[in-house]
Structure 1
């Protein structure tokens, strides 16, 4: 057997593992960004998310994305089990596993909009429907040979497919669920419902940063030309620039180098470079990351002023940065890299506005689809299930106890101490 074929398959299985381990980063990031009384719920929900996403992707998701069909959706390869196929130079099962990990990440991002107030039963139903009806459709349009692919849409590893899609679903959830108790005052001012552990959030970001090399560099789908190293370089530079820009801007504006903002800047840089990592030069990666770090700071403030309660900052980190990252290829894609990876060069390289127009069309179409379908699903669920938000008493107690019967930190919670007294 061809040794390069074997090496490519081993490389992608390693990258699948890295992307899967990003869920551990989300556990730490989301648990640390929320209050102690919800930490166990956040952690357990993430594991459940991976389970649902895997089963639905196997049953219908992969087929909707990559199956033979039309420009809107695929219509074959359901209940995937072909051990003989070769896809993009990989064993079909290896490609399947890699793509599955991306679907699970999108769902995890979407669930950021439910944080600290969504019923567990709502997670179950929405996970099934999002994994079947929202993510696969957007992914088919861009990665599965759909209509945006026909127009030359550039999204190398998923700034639109994964991050914007998940963020728009999170936006729909925050609107339907409404803000957490105590988040906003009658005059519209916001209270800081601070997360309970900044060490967790920092470690979570580092785990995600490492996993992102599977996300971006793995999307080269091979090792034979070592192009994954260039993609990794761009990824690293953008993340570093995003962290720096976010820290310096919050420091300049508030007088304090706020840690959560710095962490979100690093993530914003990673999200932004995900679309363009194979299309731009390293200097452009730094610029993309810097702008992402600035954007995430101002968008966090904007959403708060708009009374959109986003505890995990999914809308800023994955949504706004995802839009910027997608558009950035329309500005910075070089002729050589665009020709090698598909699409046209960017505006700053003499390519005109054609590619930027395609990128903009993709952002608008995918963002609207993900938001509208998610919003409809959640509104129908809210009516059919008698509400998808926990009661006021349950929210005050915390979802650890009200939804699971035990606290993530039992020794630290007074109710648990009283029960054991």
Structure 2
């Protein structure tokens, strides 16, 4: 018993480290797909998110997300108190069915919390003021994400339904929560200068380091071994193995189909579309990775890959500027993956599909108004967008007084 408990806990700590490493992947992807003059700004935001996110999760987030809803509670909101003092059985096999300790539980879930704001960081890159973004991160990660998370993972009302809403590792609870906020932020912020011509036609603004973006996607794929594999919440051999297989097959299918559909539409082999297809497949499988057969996973990933191409095009068509494709990857594929639980795998059925739809709508109902309120108030008070001069010359120089590549300057327009 003691040996199994130790093995489970070690696996969960490894998964925690892998999810932490995903922040390197997000950072690489974001700076690679944007321009050199904004590199420091993006890296600063990413470092701020993980550091402040963990502190906020310690102060109140963990106990907002896992408050221990009382019997008879409506399951919408509760708070277990400040800090994270461990219960008596917190370091023993009696806690969490011997899957991990209280401390490991906190750290693993804390890594997830920061991811939601990281998704927004990429979508608003190259024109948002650093101060308002930091304020948004504090409120959204510190308050909105854990409250929303409690609705399912904390045993709240979505978990209390006769047919409970199911989200294994966060297609909705993490990715759509970030995706809805990204959508609202991009709309309120407006497009980068030069993104749309006078006729409203989208113009490509190439990223400055596509090899770095590629490395970022591969790091994220590796990190998903912990993101999904750790969501088994133990080192169960059968379930962890199946989860990693479905995760990888969905990623592969998403990438291949995205590249193929993109080629059919645009007659070129677009690497960035290939990369986002991989991420779309990963996001899509995340809600039901433990419930799917390998064949289910390939179908889910393939659909996600096709959705990426059409979603990126649609976002451009409605004049929204998302430099890294975060809305297509995390919101569109997050919704698809969540609904796919009701269509494929062990939980497929009409009741489950309805429950999944209720879950999607519930998270839209908290994320859209809260993100709008945060950004709109700041827009009308301190402002959320840098000046035209600052945007053209780069946020690194104006917001940070630094150059990411001091000895290697390139002309940028």
TM-score bucket (shorter structure): over 0.9
Change beyond 3 A, Cα 1:81–1:332: same
Shift of 1:279: 1.1
2-structure distance, mates of 1:115, 1:125? 16
2-structure distance, mates of 1:398, 1:279? 46
For 1:34, the equivalent position in structure 2 comes to 34
Which residue, out of 121, 126, 131, partners 1:121? Answer: 131
Change beyond 3 A, Cα 1:300–1:88: farther
Which residue, out of 149, 162, 168, partners 2:159? Answer: 149
Shift of 1:83: 6.7
Query: Is the contact made by 1:168 and 1:370 (CA closer than 8 Å) also made in structure 2?
Result: yes
Runs (4+) off by over 6 Å: none
Q: String of CA shifts for 1:294-328, please: whole Å, max 9, x gaps.
A: 00100000000100110111100000000000000
2-structure distance, mates of 1:83, 1:124? 33
For 1:112, the equivalent position in structure 2 comes to 122
Shift of 1:176: 1.3
For 1:297, the equivalent position in structure 2 comes to 309
For 1:381, the equivalent position in structure 2 comes to 378
Q: Does 1:76 align with 2:76?
A: no
Q: For residue 151 of structure 2, give the secondary structure of its aligned residue in structure 1.
A: helix
Question: What does 1:12-411 align with in structure 2 at a 5 Å threshold?
Answer: 12-69=12-69, 70=73, 71-82=75-86, 84=88, 85=90, 86-89=95-98, 90-151=100-161, 152-334=164-346, 345-346=347-348, 351=349, 353-385=350-382, 387-411=383-407
Instruction: Give the gaps of 5 or more residues in structure 1.
Output: 335-344, 416-421
2-structure distance, mates of 1:359, 1:397? 45
Q: String of CA shifts for 1:130-187, please: whole Å, max 9, x gaps.
A: 0122211221111100111112111000000000000111111101111111111221
2-structure distance, mates of 1:187, 1:307? 11
Q: For residue 177 of structure 2, give the secondary structure of its aligned residue in structure 1.
A: helix
1-structure distance, mates of 2:330, 2:20? 18
Q: TM-score, normalised by structure 1?
A: 0.92
2-structure distance, mates of 1:16, 1:77? 24
Q: String of CA shifts for 1:183-230, please: whole Å, max 9, x gaps.
A: 112211011111111101111000000000000011111114441011
- Number of residue-to-residue matches in the alignment: 399
Q: String of CA shifts for 1:99-156, please: whole Å, max 9, x gaps.
A: 0000011111122232111111012211110012221122111110011111211100
2-structure distance, mates of 1:24, 1:33? 14
Query: Is the contact made by 1:155 and 1:326 (CA closer than 8 Å) also made in structure 2?
Result: yes
Query: Is the contact made by 1:88 and 1:221 (CA closer than 8 Å) also made in structure 2?
Result: no
Query: Is the contact made by 1:9 and 1:94 (CA closer than 8 Å) also made in structure 2?
Result: yes
Instruction: Give the gaps of 5 or more residues in structure 2.
Output: none
Across the aligned residues of Structure 1 and Structure 2, the Cα RMSD in angstroms comes to 1.4
Query: Is the contact made by 1:272 and 1:292 (CA closer than 8 Å) also made in structure 2?
Result: yes
1-structure distance, mates of 2:334, 2:283? 6
